[in-house]
Amino acid sequence: MFIFDISNPLTLLLMLAATVLLVFLSQETKKSAISAVILFIYLVLLIVHVAQLATLPEEFRYMLSTLSRCIVIDFIFVFISFFSYLWVDDLETKVKGKASLDNSLDWFWKKV
């Protein structure tokens, strides 16, 4: 059974670097679509890992801890990419001068 093991330190470091670079790119270009793509990719990765955990055959039970670590790391990256999407979306709305649909996080951005 193939598992994209993101709990490997080198893979984790490369994913973090790619995420930071893409968030920086989306912040510089003021396009929240780039951050939305990152968020979508991490959500798909989370769904894949949960599906693999749910359908794990008995002979692969030794991979249970690896899949559990991967799911926790997926949640962390989803959290990071979600807030980066909200941040870049806020920047994009300010630059383009359009009103955001929901400004309920204004208190959060003022403190950041």
Q: What is the pLDDT along the chain (112 residues), one digit of tens a residue?
A: 677 888 889 999 999 999 999 999 999 998 889 999 999 999 999 999 999 999 888 888 888 888 999 999 999 999 999 999 988 888 888 888 776 655 666 666 676 6
Would you tell me how many other CB atoms lie within 10 Å of the CB of residue 33? 13
Q: Domain limits of the chain?
A: 9-111
Angle between helices 64-96 and 32-54 (to 10 degrees): 160
pTM of the model as a whole: 0.82
> Phi, psi at residue 67, to the nearest 5°?
-65, -35
